[in-house]
Chain A
Amino acid sequence: AQSVAQPEDQVNVAEGNPLTVKCTYSVSGNPYLFWYVQYPNRGLQFLLKYITGDNLVKGSYGFEAEFNKSQTSFHLKKPSALVSDSALYFCAVRDPNDYKLSFGAGTTVTVRA
């Protein structure tokens, strides 16, 4: 069975400071990993994915994530947060041979001006 844990319900940072949203996963094989963002009253938007290759992946809006196989983690990062980054962030994992995408519970990010 595959699963995702997002250990922090909320992350609060000041604008201009680095932002990190944590994610750890469990899957039987090599994982496909994803980050999605949800703005209020909107659907989920795809941010980035790790499939294979370089452990550091870059995505939309200046976000990046680092895949760490030994720690089974896929933390989302942004060097300098913006107020407009305030949203709900979801990490998700999928076994390459399965259709099922498993989501974490989500982390609410608040960036204060």
Chain B
Amino acid sequence: NAGVTQTPKFQVLKTGQSMTLQCAQDMNHNSMYWYRQDPGMGLRLIYYSASEGTTDKGEVPNGYNVSRLNKREFSLRLESAAPSQTSVYFCASSEGPLSYEQYFGPGTRLTVT
């Protein structure tokens, strides 16, 4: 039981490049989330998926797109990376959108130069 896994762990992009961050969970959770963590700002929600087939914008969605591929997988895409997107990205999951705990992956550290 791996919990929430994320790939890659580290990535360096040049401005304007695109990439997709992958997330998978093996806990049969319905809801999944993408956050970014910046120093002094805590975690901010980018997008979330309450259940398979649905996605909604969070607090900071601009510059990102998401795909809920199936119940297990939720990907985050940067179409044209900008230096302001340099951050640590965390994926999380929960049993449902109103469930108590969210379970977090190990994170992806992204640098955009």
Contact = CB atoms under 8 A, between A and B. Distances in A.
Most buried by A among B42, B59, B90, B92: B42
Given A99-B48, A103-B43, A49 B106 contact: no
Given A43-B106, A106-B42, A49 B100 contact: yes
Nearest to A48: B101
A96 B45 contact: no
B104 interface: yes
B103 A46 contact: yes
A105 to B, nearest CB: 5
B98 A104 contact: no
Contacts of A90: 42-43
Given A43-B90, A106-B42, A99 B97 contact: yes
Contact of B104 (A44, A99, A100, A104): A44
Interface in A65-95: 90
Nearest to A90: B42
A46 B105 CA distance: 12
Nearest to B100: A49
Contact of A96 (B98, B101, B103): B98
Nearest to A101: B102
B31 interface: yes
B61 interface: no
B100 A43 contact: no
B23 to A, nearest CB: 11
Contact of A43 (B42, B45, B105): B105
B50 A99 contact: yes
A101 B50 CA distance: 13
A99 B98 contact: yes
B68 to A, nearest CB: 15
Contacts of A104: 42
B41 interface: yes
B102 to A, nearest CB: 6
Closest 5 CB pairs of A and B: A103-B42, A43-B104, A99-B97, A44-B104, A103-B43
Interface of A: 4, 9, 32, 34, 36, 41-46, 49, 51, 90, 96-97, 99-101, 103-106
